[in-house]
Amino acid sequence: MILCANPSAQFKSYQGEIEKAVLTVMRGSRYVLGEEVKLLEQEFARYIGVNACVGVANGTDAIELALRALEIGAGDEVITVSHTAVATVAAIEATGATPVLVDVEPQFYTLNPLQLGEVFTPKTKAIIAVHLYGQAVDLDAITAFCHKHEIFLIEDASQAHGAKYKRQHLGSIGDIGCFSCYPTKNLGAIGDAGLITTNNTELATKIRMLREYGWNERISEYPGRNSRLDELQAAVLRIKLKYLDADNFKRCQLAEYYTNQLSELPIQLPTIRKKSESVFHLFVIQVGNRQALLEYLKEEGIQAGVHYSVPVHLQPAYQDRILTANDMSITENLTKRIISLPMYPELSMNDAKKIVDVLKKFLD
């Protein structure tokens, strides 16, 4: 079976280094928020091009703590998209704030800045811009809107480790950047992990306190929580960070192969935003007969995915309870058509060729 994502294959790529690093941690005396976390924070901040990075337990916590650090909570509104992992919206709700969801641009699948004016109110305190599938939102338009209305911009770069917009790494442009390091991500741990980036050192200090009960010298200055990053995950991420650019390049090569080979088929291929460098966390196509294709791929030993099949605003937990823009038609239509093809650095060209051949056989 050709898997849609295969984090175990990446472990095997760097198995020797990872096992050595993990064993060093296990033989040590500090397992949470120790030297490995400190070094990872320094190295990732340097990589992204920011002043500070804070390691936390997962990507959902990263967004929640970012919002809390900006003092966003009950009575406030935060704008984001419905076409995203539900974690983005769950993190907003965890602070007590109200999610306000807008539609996406049809060609890029990211937040449509033309709807921001429609949903903005005096209660709006921030926009969470989700860099979906590995490429940037329209940061020029969204940043201008945030500056005009004096609200915060949080980048959800959980699917975009290493991606760039106008030669700047995503996660370095807004007030705060948030990253999930779930095992299938471009920079994935062997378990849960998250990273927060910012150029505001005061915010970074506050986030460090919030991730551990709001402590300052073990006295709670803020009502914080427990979202500590452990040393094992940090050690793994430090190894993988060294190879992130090379692994992203392999993803881009696969994406180029898919694009060249599938361009004549009756499907919609990914479109890359100008002045944006995608890292192809996912390679998402649109087809008219999705279920039949998914079943055919499975029969041929190919596992494809759907990211995401149901918009957040139509899921039972959120339906008729959160705010949305008047027109959510792009999101609602594309979620019926999208398929994520297998995409990871260890995917062989032989397997990629098989995927292309099967698609051609079904769609020609």
Considering the chain, what percentage of its residues have pLDDT values greater than 90?
Answer: 99
Instruction: Kindly state whether residues 235 and 249 are assigned to the same domain.
Output: no
Instruction: Kindly state whether residues 90 and 113 are assigned to the same domain.
Output: yes
User: Any idea what DSSP says for residue 163?
Assistant: -
User: Any idea what DSSP says for residue 324?
Assistant: E
- Kindly state whether residue 222 falls inside one of the protein's structural domains: yes
- For the stretch 95-150, pLDDT in tens is 999 999 999 999 999 999 999 999 999 999 999 999 999 999 999 999 999 999 99
For residue 69, which of 234, 223, 228 has the smallest C-alpha distance?
223
Last residue of a domain, one of 214, 242, 270: 242
Going along the chain, which residue ranges are E strands?
A: 52-56, 77-81, 98-102, 124-130, 152-156, 164-165, 168-169, 176-180, 194-198, 215-216, 219-220, 276-277, 283-286, 323-324, 338-341
Instruction: Kindly state whether residues 149 and 184 are assigned to the same domain.
Output: yes
Instruction: Kindly state whether residues 276 and 235 are assigned to the same domain.
Output: no
- Kindly state whether residue 292 falls inside one of the protein's structural domains: yes
Q: Would you tell me how many other CB atoms lie within 10 Å of the CB of residue 222?
A: 15
Instruction: Kindly state whether residues 170 and 208 are assigned to the same domain.
Output: yes
- Kindly state whether residue 109 falls inside one of the protein's structural domains: yes
Rounded Cα distance between 216 and 321, Å, is: 37
Instruction: Kindly state whether residues 314 and 217 are assigned to the same domain.
Output: no
- Kindly state whether residue 147 falls inside one of the protein's structural domains: yes
How far separated are the first and last CA of the chain, in Å rounded?
23
Last residue of a domain, one of 224, 242, 260: 242
Question: Residue 198: pLDDT above 90?
Answer: yes
Question: Which tokens sit at 155?
Answer: 């980048």
pLDDT value of position 167 = 97
Domain with 113, as residue range(s), is: 7-242
Cα angle: 302, vertex 237, 48; to 5 degrees: 100
Residues 79/103, Cβ–Cβ less than 8 Å:
no
Rounded Cα distance between 60 and 196, Å, is: 11
Rounded Cα distance between 20 and 86, Å, is: 35
Instruction: Kindly state whether residues 262 and 234 are assigned to the same domain.
Output: no
- Kindly state whether residue 2 falls inside one of the protein's structural domains: no
3-state helix, strand, coil in the chain (%, to 5): 40, 20, 40
- For the stretch 303-344, pLDDT in tens is 999 999 999 999 999 988 899 999 999 999 999 999 999 999
Kindly give, in sequence order, each residue whose CB lies less than 8 Å from that of residue 189, ignoring residues fewer than 6 positions away.
181, 182, 183, 233, 236, 237
- CATH code, 205: 3.40.640.10
Residues 325/103, Cβ–Cβ less than 8 Å:
yes
Pairing state of beta strands 152-156 and 176-180?
parallel
- Kindly state whether residue 1 falls inside one of the protein's structural domains: no
Instruction: Kindly state whether residues 204 and 84 are assigned to the same domain.
Output: yes
Instruction: Kindly state whether residues 62 and 93 are assigned to the same domain.
Output: yes
- CATH code, 289: 3.90.1150.10
- For the stretch 158-196, pLDDT in tens is 999 999 999 999 999 999 999 999 999 999 999 999 999
- Kindly state whether residue 148 falls inside one of the protein's structural domains: yes
For residue 95, which of 193, 198, 224, 213 has the smallest C-alpha distance?
224
Interval 29-52 mean pLDDT = 98
* Average pLDDT of the chain to the nearest whole number: 98
Rounded Cα distance between 280 and 299, Å, is: 26
Q: Which residue's structure tokens are 């370095």?
A: 172
Instruction: Kindly state whether residues 264 and 145 are assigned to the same domain.
Output: no
Cα angle: 198, vertex 117, 315; to 5 degrees: 75
Rounded Cα distance between 188 and 185, Å, is: 5
Rounded Cα distance between 277 and 259, Å, is: 16
Instruction: Kindly state whether residues 234 and 251 are assigned to the same domain.
Output: no
Question: Which tokens sit at 283?
Answer: 């390679």
User: Any idea what DSSP says for residue 134?
Assistant: G
Q: Phi and psi for 46 in degrees, rounded to 5?
A: -65, -40
- Kindly state whether residue 115 falls inside one of the protein's structural domains: yes
CA dihedral 129, 135, 141, 147 (to 10 degrees): 50
Instruction: Kindly state whether residues 47 and 122 are assigned to the same domain.
Output: yes
Q: Supply the pTM of this predicted model.
A: 0.97
Q: State how many domains the chain has.
A: 2
Last residue of a domain, one of 208, 242, 276: 242
Interval 185-211 mean pLDDT = 98
